[in-house]
Structure 1
Amino acid sequence: MKTTGVIGIGDMGSGLAKNLLKNGFSVTGIDPVKDRMNAFTDMGGVAAASVAEVARAAEAVFVMVMSGDQAKSVILGADGLAAHLRPGSAILLSATIKPHEAREIGQEMSGSGVHLIDTPVSGGFPGAQGGTLTMMAAAPDAALDEFAPVMQAVSANIHRVGTRPGDGQTVKACLQSLIGAQFAATFEAAALAAKAGVPGQVLLDVFSTSSAGCGVVNNALEKIIDRQFEGTGSHINTMHKDLTISMGLGEELGVPLHTASAAMQIFHAGRTRYPDGDNWVCTRVIEEIVGAELHRQAKP
């Protein structure tokens, strides 16, 4: 198997394409943004004029779109993947959508002869570009075995979390409830330090070597103290959407998510005040309230 496709070549999808090419796969892709397509062809990808064209050229296609409606359209539409992929091919649903939406896609694909691998990812822009993503893969073992080389090309950690569509999305929703809370706590701690006059480098040194230090916290704090609030590959819309999915699953199952709810409100505020910002811009909203900013070095 050497022919693959990517639907959606943004911050995440471009990383998938890059690492598939790096590992010897041909990649046919499509994205509505012209600049993304130009960058994709510059790296060696083959531009397609339609989703159906991607399907006809590939044996395995990653779907990295923003919403469940978009995923349904590119997979189930008349011009979609399910209608044009050859039997035995696979759709790798790497976008984060609602679990019930993944289940609905699986039900509609029943009998198509095309495998659906529900495999949302974690690792953000750095993980996608570096080929170190964590995948939460759900499909029968035979399908996961067959398409393992494709997943291994873009991922450092592949976890088999279930056998049915929706199982991967459910685990991702649980993960995002935790990551959202970690982000929110970091934003608040950064504002607290700023108001107290603690230099950002001091906070980073302590946090990163403490039991609280982790990739999520350390990366967020780095972006905050360097005032990198846009263009870092982690647009606030994505995390806001993911937390909405987590909260919806909690409501569906009757599970109280107190901390995730608080994080959701912080992301609401950040997205409303700075709609073009990345996740870390939430800190600016809190800083504006307290009248202090956290920089790597304290201002004289």
Structure 2
Amino acid sequence: MKRTGVIGLGDMGSGLAKNLIQNGFETTGLDLSKDRMDAFVAMGGKPATNIAEVAKASDAVYVMVMNGDQAKAVILGPDGLVENMTEGGVVVLTATIKPSEARQIGEAMAETGIHLIDAPVSGGFPGAQGGTLTMMAAGSSAILDEYALVMEAVSKTIHRVGSNAGDGQTVKSCLQSLIGSIFSATFEASALAAKAGVSGDVLFKVFSTSGAGCGVSNTALENIIDRQFEGTGSHIATMHKDLTICLDLAKELGVPMHTASTAMQIFHAGKTKYPNGDNWVCTRVIEDIIGAELHR
């Protein structure tokens, strides 16, 4: 059985690690937070003190960090994965970064003997913890076949979206433009209902059983009407970053993104006023303006 590693043991990475361990994979992990490392050890993981230790103990390493600069440092740095993994090993890039950054990483790894699977995921905290993530995987067919079980341990649905580094991130950018837009429309509809005197319970029942009902809007609306704006595993900084990536790609390709651009401004307002909040906290910005709140 392949040996696995996880670098970045936050809301998402801890879920990857948990499901790898539960599926019988020997898993080595690393995070800067002592609390996260303690939780990882408690679930049966092997702690590492640096990236090189993870690399040397693993055939496949998941990289679940926040941005492209961190991913490059972890993968390509002088003490990083490429320098320390055994030839034939695989880096599974599940972090969401710019497609151009993933391509740069892929190009830098081309002659190293270490393979890259560009595989951002969707499903958030519940999907990561439950092993039900949707994965957008790009890599050679042979490598995807060889490491299928490693990916299936953390993902319920694996889409093979291309063979080149950046292909996975490109599809993720398209997905996040849609998810961010649905979130923002839900925030606005919630504020409209609050001002009009509609109860949150009525709104949820109607929305969730209509053509507009979906996992994205249902989750957002439930958190809004229950006033759960922190600690739900969907920190606003992540979607803010993802929308930035999406709009950067659109600029690069010359594609107008009217709805996603509006969503970006709503998330920017939310992140500025409530930096410690989760996605749904954007609703509070609108509620503050109109002087009404939506409760169940």
Same fold (TM over 0.5): yes
CA distance in 1, matches of 2:191, 2:33: 36
Task: Give how far 1:2 is off.
Answer: 3.1
Q: Deviations over 1:204-256 (max 9, x none)?
A: 10111111000000000010000000011100000000000000000000000
2:84 is aligned with 1:84: yes
For residue 260 of structure 2, what is the amino acid of its counterpart? A
Task: Give how far 1:110 is off.
Answer: 1.1
For residue 111 of structure 2, what is the amino acid of its counterpart? G
Query: Runs of 5+ in structure 1 lacking a partner?
Result: none
Q: Deviations over 1:29-66 (max 9, x none)?
A: 10001111111111111110000000000000000000
The within-5 A match list for 1:148-297 is: 148-296=148-296
For residue 254 of structure 2, what is the amino acid of its counterpart? G
**1:103 paired residue number:** 103
Q: Residue 88 of structure 1 contacts residue 114 of structure 1 at CA under 8 Å; is this kept in 2?
A: yes
CA distance in 1, matches of 2:248, 2:2: 38
Q: Deviations over 1:65-94 (max 9, x none)?
A: 000000000000011001111111100000
**1:37 paired residue number:** 37
Q: Deviations over 1:137-183 (max 9, x none)?
A: 00010010000000000001000000000000000000000000000
TM-score (norm 1): 0.98
CA distance in 2, matches of 1:80, 1:194: 51
Task: Give how far 1:26 is off.
Answer: 1.0
2:133 is aligned with 1:133: yes
Q: Residue 134 of structure 1 contacts residue 158 of structure 1 at CA under 8 Å; is this kept in 2?
A: yes
CA distance in 2, matches of 1:216, 1:269: 20
Secondary structure of the residue that 2:5 maps to in structure 1? strand
CA distance in 2, matches of 1:195, 1:44: 50
Secondary structure of the residue that 2:159 maps to in structure 1? strand
Task: Give how far 1:119 is off.
Answer: 0.2
**1:48 paired residue number:** 48
CA distance in 2, matches of 1:206, 1:18: 36
Q: Residue 2 of structure 1 contacts residue 24 of structure 1 at CA under 8 Å; is this kept in 2?
A: no
Secondary structure of the residue that 1:14 maps to in structure 2? helix
TM-score (norm 2): 0.99
* Identical amino acids, percent of aligned pairs: 72
**2:120 paired residue number:** 120
Q: Residue 9 of structure 1 contacts residue 36 of structure 1 at CA under 8 Å; is this kept in 2?
A: yes
Q: Residue 3 of structure 1 contacts residue 58 of structure 1 at CA under 8 Å; is this kept in 2?
A: yes
**1:145 paired residue number:** 145
Secondary structure of the residue that 1:286 maps to in structure 2? helix
CA distance in 2, matches of 1:19, 1:206: 35
CA distance in 2, matches of 1:248, 1:2: 37
> What RMSD, in angstroms, separates the aligned Cα atoms of the two structures?
0.5
For residue 246 of structure 2, what is the amino acid of its counterpart? S
For residue 236 of structure 2, what is the amino acid of its counterpart? I
Q: Residue 4 of structure 1 contacts residue 61 of structure 1 at CA under 8 Å; is this kept in 2?
A: yes
Question: Number of residue pairs matched?
Answer: 296
CA distance in 2, matches of 1:164, 1:2: 23
CA distance in 1, matches of 2:233, 2:34: 18
CA distance in 2, matches of 1:204, 1:63: 36
